[in-house]
Structure 1
Amino acid sequence: MAEMKHLLGCIADDFTGASDAASFLQKAGLQTILLNGVPEQGLGMNEYDAIVIALKTRTEPAGEAVEHTMEAVKWLEQHGAAQYYLKYCSTFDSTKEGNIGPVLDAVLEYLEETYTVLCPSLPVNGRTVKDGHLYVNGVPLDESPMKDHPLTPMWDSRIKHLMEAQSKYKCIELNGEQLKEDNIDAYLLKEKEGQKHFYVIPDYETEEDAKRIVSLFGNKKVLSGGSGILQYLARGNKKGIVLAGSCSQATLTQIETYKKAGHAAYKIYPEKLVSGEVTVEEILEFVSLHPDDYVLVYSSDTAEQVRESQKLGKEQVAQMIENVISDLAGQLRDKGYKHIVVAGGETSGAVTKRLGYYLFEIGKSVAPGVPVMTPLEDRTMRLVLKSGNFGQPDFFERAVQMIRGE
C-alpha cells in the first residue's frame, strides 16, 4: 500500500448509498462523518478520517450530476481529502445516457488520475463480477429483476458495455487469473491504447478478491464502486504499531505468540542502543519495510538478560529505552499511524506523554482492564495501553483486530 491517506472523501449518488458506505468505513475503524449534500460553508474536519457526502445524482441529468459531484470533490479537496471514492449502487444503476461515466470522466480529468477501478460488487448481498459481467444472486444483471427497474432498467450485464455507452474512455477487464499477476500496472498502461484515461473492471466474487483489488489499486487517488471494497480500503488507510517495554512473563509470551503468527518484529538490544548502533531512524526504516503489518517493536527480555543489560547502567538504559520507544510512537503518529498498542505501565506513560494526550474516551475492552481508548485531543487515534501482566497470550493480535474493526 501507499503512504497513509490523511483524509478519505467519499461521494455517494444517494443518501442510502452514503449511509451504506459510511457504515463500512466506521466499522473498519475510520472516524467517519456523513453530510447530506455539500455544506454551504467550511466545517472543522480535523477529528475525522473519512467524510461521506450524500448527493442526489443517481437519476439527475448527466450535466447536473457532473456539476454537483465536482462541487463535492472541490469541497473535499479544500478540507484535506487525499483520496476520493465515488460510491454508486452495487447494481450499477445507470442507463445508456446515465451518470456514472460522465461523473467519473470529470473526476479523473480534474484530479489528473490516469485510471480507476469499477467495483460494484458486494458479495455479502449477492452482487458479484465474473469475466466482466455483473451478477445478482448468480443471475446476470440484465436477466435479474433489475431489468424492469422503472428509472434505470438494466439492459446488459457486461460492465464494459454499460460504462462505454456513457464514458469517453475505454474499459479494460481483468479476470481472476490476471489479478494474481504482480506487474498489473505495466500491463494496464500497455493495454490502454494511448488513451489519457481509462477504466479497469476487475473480477470480484469473494472477500479475498476485494483484498487483492485494494492491494493492487488502493493507492489510486480515485476509486469507485459499491461499498464492498471500502472496508478493506479503510483498513489500508489505518496503520498501526505494537510497542512493548514490559519484561513480565505475560508480555514475553504475547511477544512470542505475535511473532509466531507471522508479524514482523524488531528487538531493541540495550547494548546496541547505548553504543549508538540502534537509532529511532533505523527502527523507522524497518517499520517502513512492512507497510501492511502492525510491526512489533520491543525491548522486553528475560530477567537474566535484563540483569545483564543493567550492568550498562540501570537508570541510563531504562531511560534510553523509554525515550526511543516514545519518540518512535510520536514520529509514527506524525507519519499517519493512527493505532498504537503499548505493553508496560512505564512505557505507556512515556508514550502518552510524548503524544501529548491526557483525556481519553473509553471503548470496548480487549482484555479485562485493557480498553481501546480514543484521546479527545485527536479522535482519529486509537490507543491500547496494557499493564505488563494483563492479557491473553494472543493479546496483541486481539488488540490489532479490535482497533482495525475486524
Structure 2
Amino acid sequence: MVNHNLLLAYYGDDFTGSTDALEFLSKAGAKTALFIDAPTATQLAAYTDLNAIGVAGLSRSMSPRQMEATLLPTFSALKQLGVKHVHYKVCSTFDSSPTTGSIGKAIDVGIAVFQNTCVPLLVAAPSLGRYCAFGNLFARMGIGSTGQIYRLDRHPAMIKHPVTPADESDLRLHLAKQTDKKIGLLDILQVAKPFQELSTRLAKLMDEQSKVVLIDAMYEDQFLNIGRLIDELADKEQPLFSVGSSGVEMALGKYWNETQMLQAVTSWQALEKADPLLVIAGSCSPVTSRQISWALEQGFKEIIIDAQIICDSEIDALPIEEYIQKAVDIAQQGQHLIVHTNGSKENVKATLSSEKLGNALGLIAKKVVESTNVSRVVIAGGDTSSYAARAMEIEAVEMLVPLVAGAPLCKARSANPSINNIEVNFKGGQVGDERYFGILLEGKL
C-alpha cells in the first residue's frame, strides 16, 4: 500500500495534539487528513493527493502493555505506506509516566519496528510557547496566550496534572524512567551552530551509541537546520521514526518550504459565526476553567454532568439521556452551550475513566448535532477527546482554518450524514486565552 505522494505519517498520543500536528503540516502546504484509526487502502483511496496522514490515537492514557499491543500493528501499518517519516506525536508538555502514556515505551516499540540507528526527539515548539534549553523543557501558561513561562516542574498547571503530574523538567531524566535506551543531547549552543557542525555533532552522538537524541530549540529560525537534519536521516527504503511535539512538523515543513518541496499556505477561507456553538469539555485544566467562566459571563449556557456517576456506570449504559434532552432544548433555542465536567477530576476520586467521560460527552454531542442545526462543535480535553471523537462517529478530519495556535478548526468526515462535514475543533487543556470559546463562536480572532 505504497503512496508515493506521502511524505510523512504520524500517530498522535491523543486527539487534541494530533490536530496540532495537522495544523502545521497544512500551513506548510501538505494536504493532510487525520484519521481516527490507521486508514485502510479503501479509506485512503477516498482522499486525493494527500501529502501526509495522521492517526489520532489514545496512547497517552494507556498502560505500557496496552501501548505495545496498539502501537506494534499501527507502526507496522504506517511503515507499509512507504513514507520517509513516521512521527510519534506527543504533547508539547511531554505528558507521560512509566505507567501511563509512556513515551519511552513508544520509543522502544518504534525502534523494534523501524530499526533506525537513531530516534530524533524534538519537543520544543516556540510558536506554542514551548522551549527546550540544555535538555530542560519550559512552557508558557496557556498556548496562544501571553501567559508566563515556567520550567516544566514549576508550571502551575502541569505540576497538578491529574494523571501525569510534572516533577522533572530535564527530559533526559524524565525519559530515562521509561526506557533504558541511551539518550544524547544536541544542546542549544550546538543547535545555534552552522548546519555542518550540527550534523557532525549528531554523527558523534550516534557513534557513541545514543539511540535517542534530544534536540534543543528556542527560536523558530533554528527549525530550518533542525528540519534539514531530521530529513537527511530519512529515506523511503528506511523510514525515519521520530518522536516529539508538533515541532517535528514545524521543522520539516520549514525545510520543505525552503527547498520548494511544498509551498506554504498564507491565506484561508473566511468563516461565518456559529449559530449556535456547542462545546463539550472533559478538561480539568485551569486554563479551560477560566475559558468556561469567561464564556458563561458572555451568555453561554452550561450543563454540568456528574462525572462520578458517569464513571460508576457501565460503558454501554451511560446515564446521559437527561443531559441530551437538556442540551437539545438549549441548542434548539439558538443558545450557545457548554457541556462540561466542572473540572471534576480534581474534586473526586482519581479513578475517573477518560474513556467513559469521553464517550458520554461524545454521545451527547452527536445527539445534539443530529437533532438541531448545530454545525460547529468544540471538544476540549486531551485525555477525553479521542473517545469523544469516536463516539461522535468521526472517521477523519481535515483542516479548514487556523484560529488559535495548536487548535485549528477542521471539517469532519463521517459515514453518519449528520456528522459528515460539520466543523469541529479539538482544544487541549493548555490552549488559548480566556476568550477562546468566543473566538470559536465568531470564527475569527
Range of TM-score over shorter length: 0.5 to 0.7
In 2, distance between residues paired with 1:112 and 1:5? Answer: 23
Change (3 A) 1:189 1:160: same
User: Aligned partners of 1:127 and 1:194: how far apart in 2?
Assistant: 28
Residues in 1 aligned to 2:262 and 2:42: alpha-carbon distance in whole angstroms: 25
The within-5 A match list for 1:182-221 is: 182-192=196-206, 195=209, 198-220=211-233, 221=240
The count of corresponding residues between Structure 1 and Structure 2 is 241
Query: 2 CA distance for matches of 1:185 and 1:114?
Result: 15
1:175: which partner in 2? Answer: 187
User: What do residues 187-222 of structure 1 show as CA deviations (whole Å, max 9, x unaligned)?
Assistant: 344445753x61111221110122221122223312
Match of 1:58, SS state, is helix
- Asked whether the equivalents of residues 90 and 225 of structure 1 are also in contact (C-alpha less than 8 Å), the reply is yes
Residues 138-194 of structure 1: CA distance to partner in whole angstroms, max 9, x if unpaired? 311011120110101111000000111111211112222212152444434444575
Code of the aligned partner of 2:255: G
Residue aligning to 1:121:
124
Bigger RCO of structures 1 and 2 (CA < 8 A, at least 6 apart): 2
Identity of aligned residues (%): 28
Matched residue type, 1:24: F
Equivalent residue, structure 2, for 1:37: 37
* Counterpart residue identity of residue 151, structure 1: V
More displaced 10-residue stretch of structure 1: 148-157 or 102-111: 102-111
Cα separation, 2, equivalents of 1:50 and 1:154 = 32
CA distance in 2, matches of 1:178, 1:120: 16
Structure 1 CA distance, aligned partners of 2:48 and 2:78?
Answer: 12
Q: Which residue of 1 aligns with 2:69?
A: 67
Aligned to 1:233: 252
Which of 149, 152, 160 lines up with 1:141 in the alignment? Answer: 152
- Residue segments in structure 1 that go unaligned for 5+ positions in a row: 239-291, 295-336, 340-406
CA contact (8 A) 2:120 2:215 kept: yes
Report the AA paired with residue 91 of structure 2.
C
Deviation per residue, 1:19-73 (Å, 9 max, x gap)? 1111111111001111012246643266211000011000201121122122222
**Residues 204-283 of structure 1: matches in 2 within 5 Å?**
204-220=217-233, 221-237=240-256
- Per-residue CA deviations over 1:333-374 (Å, capped at 9, x if unaligned) read xxxx666xxxxxxxxxxxxxxxxxxxxxxxxxxxxxxxxxxx
For 1:153, the aligned partner's letter is: P
Secondary structure at the counterpart of residue 54 of structure 2: strand
**Partner AA of 1:8 in structure 2:** L
Superposed counterparts of 1:1-150, under 5 Å: 6-39=6-39, 42-43=42-43, 44=45, 47-98=49-100, 99-137=102-140, 138-145=149-156, 146-150=158-162
Q: Distance in 1 between matches of 2:5 and 2:254?
A: 11
Between the aligned partners of 2:130 and 2:200, the Cα distance in structure 1 is 29
Change (3 A) 1:164 1:39: same
Would the alpha carbon gap of residues 79 and 217 (structure 1) be closer, same or farther in structure 2, given more than 3 Å must change? closer
Q: In 2, are the aligned partners of 1:38 and 1:71 still within 8 Å (CA)? A: no
**CA contact 1:102–1:167 (8 Å) conserved in 2:** yes
**Matches of 1:135 and 1:108 in 2, distance apart?**
27
> For residues 219 and 108 of structure 1, do their structure 2 counterparts lie closer, same or farther at Cα, with a shift above 3 Å needed?
farther
What SS class does the counterpart of residue 37 from structure 1 fall into?
Answer: coil
Unmatched tracts of structure 2, length 5 or more: 141-148, 234-239, 264-445
Q: Secondary structure at the match of 2:243?
A: strand
**2:173 corresponds to which of 152, 161, 179:** 161
The SS at the match of 2:60 is coil
- Whether the 8 Å CA contact 1:32–1:51 is kept in 2: the answer is yes
Superposed CA offset, 1:205-242 (max 9, x none)? 1101222211222233122211123133134346xxxx
| Counterpart residue type for residue 8 of structure 2 | L
| Runs of 4 or more consecutive aligned structure 1 residues displaced over 6 Å after TM superposition | none
Structure 1: which amino acid aligns with 2:246?
S
CA distance in 1, matches of 2:262, 2:252: 15
Q: Distance in 2 between matches of 1:16 and 1:208?
A: 25
Change (3 A) 1:62 1:206: same
Specify the SS of the correspondent of 2:35: strand
Change (3 A) 1:109 1:183: farther
Q: CA deviation at 1:77?
A: 2.4
Confirm or deny: 8 A CA contact 1:5 1:83 kept in the other structure: no
Contact between 1:12 and 1:55, CA under 8 Å: does it hold in 2? yes
**Greater C-alpha radius of gyration:** 1
8 Å CA contact 1:95–1:154 kept in 2: the answer is no
Aligned CA-pair RMSD: 2.5
Residues 186, 143 of structure 1: alpha-carbon distance in 2 compared, 3 angstrom cutoff: same
Paired with 2:218 and 2:201, the residues of 1 have a C-alpha distance of 22
